[in-house]
Amino acid sequence: MFTGLIQSVGVVESVVAAGGTLRIAVYSPAIAAQLKPGDSVAVSGVCLTALDPGPNPGPERFFAELAAETVARTSLSMLAPGSRVNLELPTPAGAPLGGHIVQGHVDATGVCLSLEAVSGGGARTDWWLRVRVPPAVARYAVEKGSIAIEGISLTIAHWDAAGSVVSVAIIPHTYEATNLATLGPGALVNLEADILMKLAIEKQREAENRFTPTLEYLVANGY
């Protein structure tokens, strides 16, 4: 489990096709030094398994394999050498949850519409991010609810249900400490809806769809 608080931004060194998968190498001394083979790591919101970190070929990078399903359903399909990716290690049991519960199971990709500095700009300005989301995520989007975008725990400041667009405020720290600054209009971004919102809404829909026979129904059907 993750919390959507990005710990480091890594740089993709290579993307190599291997037996139906893609094998990536990510340069990040801060993260690679903490990994051992088999550990989980969130790469731009996608939970991957670390391969070959450690002294050979060096402690500065780790490798991971992307299954065909991962390539088809996430923004990692667009990775190339030089791409910047958000990295987060799993949250230890008992640690404070600073963001929200993020599984690393991407629901769908959205499209970055814009990332604009708040009026006035300046060196430490806030930013306004707008992302178009598909139905798989839109059904769980509510104002002031949580959403993970590229693995970042964010709060939906405005939800345009008609246009299926979420707008979120990005503080200077988030802009500087993540890969958002590298994303332009049209870029694909990984989206994961809040799991607690999913559970609440699905339970509500279950209750609404549950059939409760009335006296009139019983009489009409010969009971």
Contact predicate 62/35, CB 8 Å: yes
- Catalytic-residue membership of 153: no
Catalytically annotated residue among 49, 77, 167, 182: 49
- Catalytic-residue membership of 100: no
Calculate the alpha carbon distances from 128 to 2, 142, 155, 177, 181 in Å.
Answer: 24, 17, 12, 16, 12
- ω into 57 cis (within 30 of 0): yes
- Catalytic-residue membership of 174: no
Catalytically annotated residue among 30, 67, 68, 200: 67
- Catalytic-residue membership of 49: yes
- Catalytic-residue membership of 155: yes
Catalytically annotated residue among 21, 77, 125, 155: 155
Catalytically annotated residue among 25, 32, 42, 47: 47
Helix and strand totals (H; E) in the chain: 6, 13
Give which of 87, 95, 91, 104 is closest to 32, Cα–Cα. Answer: 87
- Catalytic-residue membership of 91: no
Catalytically annotated residue among 30, 33, 95, 105: 105
Token representation of residue 94: 């008992």
What is the amino acid identity at position 57? P
Catalytically annotated residue among 2, 109, 148, 193: 2
- Catalytic-residue membership of 2: yes
Catalytically annotated residue among 40, 164, 167, 182: 40
Catalytic center residues: 2, 40, 47, 49, 67, 105, 155
